[in-house]
Chains A and B, each alone.
Chain A
Amino acid sequence: MNRFLYSIGFCLSLCMCVSCARVKPYERQYLADPIMELESSTRKQSLEEKFLSTMEGSSGGENGIAGGCGCAK
């Protein structure tokens, strides 16, 4: 459990350290490119998560909507 909390603390600290970067709206052409997948669909995430959660003991960490059973295993 401590390792989990340390990891959160480390990542949040890293995020805070770099949060001074400012990118103007006209500098976002690469960020808006579809290959950056910044707006990947919620549905898509839930399908991947659904298949992998039937094969592994872990789940979570994505914002997709998932539930139900449909157990393949």
Chain B
Amino acid sequence: MWVRQITEIFSSWLLVLTLVLQNILKSIYRIRKVPFIFLILVLFFGHCPSPIVAEGISYTIYHFWDERPNQASTEVTTSSFSISKKILAHTGMFMDIELDQVTSPPLLDGATGASRPAYKKEESFIRNRGQIIAGLEQALGQNSTISGSLYISQEIDYQSFAVFASYSQDFLQKNLNLLLTTSINQDKVGYIDSKQNFFEEPKEKRDLSLSVTQVLGPTTVFSLTGSYSEPSGKLSDPYRAVKIGDQLLPEKHPDERYRYSVTSKLNQYIIPLKAATLIKYRLYIDQWESIRRKGVTSHTFSAKLNKYITENFIFSPWYRYYIQDNVYFSNSDYQYSSSDLYYTGDYKLQAFESNSFGIASTYYFRGLVGADSDWSFIQNASLRLEYFRYWNTNKFAGNILEAGLEYAF
């Protein structure tokens, strides 16, 4: 019964997506096709009763480009399509498909730059990556839900497979929520050498996190998340090299890492301003090797304001500050020594500070058309635009531009 229903839902989705793709270009020139496509979507998805997941469909595109001294930009373009929908009385499902394209400039010194096969180091390299996340969420009574999902990503020299599970429980008339999340990743880290021979090594990661969310009042919510992560296996980038004395050698990291973090968030609605502030602080500590040697310690503080400019337009500036120290085996000037077991060329394991500043805007189309219009279906749509800039004390800066369209069922 379950298998049959899920199969029917998937096959119907594929049909709808195929129709949309076939008609999307025509729709640009023959706009009357658009209501027809949405009619199919509404007819299909409209038969299900009230949701346990936020039901909707969204498409988001990100473009990232970096700035480094004396070097061309690395660019990343990401397209993401998501859908979430209730499929049975107490069951929802969600799916996310994401495609990345990373364009890397030629390497100048062989020791920096984006990860790429060794035989491509003297020319621009384009890396494509595909990712699918699919999962189910099941309500267990009025106050608890469980969910599970699968994650698969694939690129030319990296594969990742993960299983996620979570359990959510409400207490005290939904004033207190506990969320327990766990996951297991099984990755294969590949390496393509200068003769195009392929090698790969395993990497595993186990995660566990517990979130406590407490309603403090009619306008205030506080949450606290503690998380633990244990990556192991191939933890260094097989393409990154380190200058040791006069030699350029592949970096070598320990094969065990233990990561801990505590994140606190405070969300406050400010009624007179029709705005909400979101303040977040995270403490992060990690350790390396089975004897737990010192890793990175970092502090992250961020603040965001969401402000209604009009009833249908939200403006959201935000700022984030980050500071970390260095891992015990990082060194800006390695000299060959038989006692040094590990070397890193990764600036992310050195001490630095970073700042990020972003502006976002969200527009809800509900104010554009009346409920009796032929176009009333667009009342459930919203458009989101965001730009943010990141810069750090290692002379690295990055920019991200995001545009997203969402449609709530």
| Selected contact of A69 from candidates B129, B226, B262, CB within 8 Å | B129
- Contact, CB under 8 Å: A11 / B224: yes
Residue of A nearest to B356 (CB): A52
A39 CA to B53 CA, complexed, in Å: 10
Interface of A is mostly: loop
Residues of chain A within 8 A (CB-CB) of B400 are 51
Number of A-B contacts (CB under 8 A): 209
Residues in chain B near residue A61, CB distance under 8 A = 209, 225, 227, 261-263, 282, 284
Q: Which residues of A contact B129 (CB under 8 A)?
A: 68-70
Q: Say if the beta carbon of B54 comes within 8 Å of chain A.
A: yes
Contact A62 B263 (CB under 8 A): yes
Q: Which of B221, B296, B348, B390 contacts A38 (CB 8 A)?
A: B221
Taking CB atoms, residues of chain B closer than 8 Å to A56 are 298, 322, 324, 348, 354
Q: Which of B8-16, B158-166, B194-202 contacts A (4 or more CB under 8 A)?
A: B158-166
Number of interface residues of A (CB under 8 A): 50
| Contact status B298-A23, CB under 8 Å | no
Residue-wise interface mask of A (20-36) relative to B, using a CB-CB cutoff of 8 A (1 in contact, 0 not): 01111101101101111
> Which B residue's beta carbon lies closest to that of A39?
B54
A29 to B131, alpha carbons, bound, how many Å?
Answer: 37
Report, as a range, how many residues of chain B touch the other chain: 35 or more
* B314–A41 CB distance below 8 A: no
Bound-state Cα–Cα, A67 to B269, Å: 33
Residues of chain A with a CB closer than 8 A to B285's CB: 1, 3-4
Cβ–Cβ contact A63 & B181, under 8 A = yes
Within the complex, which residue of B176, B185, B217 is in contact with A19, where a contact is CB–CB below 8 Å?
B176
Contact A41 B54 (CB under 8 A): yes
Taking the closest CB of chain B, its distance from the CB of A36, in whole angstroms, is 5
Query: A21: which B residues are within 8 A, CB to CB?
Result: 175, 214-217
Can you name 9 A-B pairs with beta carbons within 8 Å? A12-B224, A23-B175, A31-B221, A35-B275, A36-B278, A43-B96, A55-B354, A63-B179, A67-B160
The 10 lowest CB-CB distance pairs between A and B, nearest first, are A68-B153, A61-B263, A35-B306, A71-B115, A68-B160, A58-B284, A69-B158, A57-B348, A30-B269, A61-B261
